[in-house]
Homo-oligomer: A and B are copies of this chain.
C-alpha cells in the first residue's frame, strides 16, 4: 500500500542509441524549437545521417510526444512522492511546491519544451499531454483548497494562487542553469517559502 509497487517507468525501454537520439532531440527542440529542428540536425548530433534515424524512431512527431508524455508522468510521480504520508496541509503544499520547482530545475529542458511546443503536437498527442497537465494542476489547486477549507490558508482566489505557484515553476525552467550562481536547493527552499506566504498561511 506504499505506492512503491506502482511502476515508475511505464513507457517502452529505449536502446542506448534510442536514448541518445531522444536526448539530442530534446536539446535541439529546446534550443531552436520543434519546427525549426531538422531530422538532419538530430542525426548529426548522434553521428548519423537524418534518414538513419528512422531505424530507431518512427517519426519526429513521436519523438516530441514521447519526451512530453514521459516528463508529465515524472512530474506526477515526484508530486505523489513529495506529499505521500504528510498530513499537515502547509507541509504538504510546501513539499509539493518544492518538488514542483525541483522538477523544473532537474528537467528544465523537458519542461521548457513541454510548455512551448504543445502546439506542435498532433491532436491525439496534444489531448494526452493536456489531460496530464490538467490533472496536475488540479492536484496543486486541491492542496490550496484543502488549506482554505481548514482555515489554514487565506487567499483572495484559489485559482489565482495556484496559477501563481504553477507559473513560478515554469519560469524556473526558462532561466535556471546548472552552472548559474543560484543553486537548486536555494531556489527550491526559497520558492517553498514563497508558496506559504503567498497563500497567507496561518501559524
Which residues of A pack against B, CB within 8 Å?
31-33, 35-36, 116, 119-120, 156-157, 159-160, 163-164, 166-168, 170-172, 174-175, 181-182, 186-187, 189-191, 193-194, 197-198
Contact = CB atoms under 8 A, between A and B. Distances in A.
B35 A194 contact: no
21 contacts: A32-B119, A33-B119, A33-B120, A36-B119, A36-B120, A116-B116, A156-B186, A156-B190, A156-B193, A157-B186, A157-B190, A159-B181, A160-B186, A160-B187, A160-B190, A163-B171, A164-B171, A164-B191, A166-B171, A170-B171, A171-B171
Contacts of A197: 197-198
How many copies of this chain are found per oligomer? 2
SS class of chain A's interface: helix, strand, loop or mixed? helix
Given A157-B182, A190-B157, A167 B163 contact: no
A159 B171 contact: no
Q: Considering the complex of A and B, which 3 residue pairs feature the smallest CB-CB distances, nearest first?
A: A167-B171, A35-B35, A156-B190
Nearest to A175: B163
Question: A32, A163, A174, A189 — which one has the most chain B CB atoms within 10 A of its CB?
Answer: A163
A193 to B, nearest CB: 8
A174 B156 CA distance: 20
A121 to B, nearest CB: 12
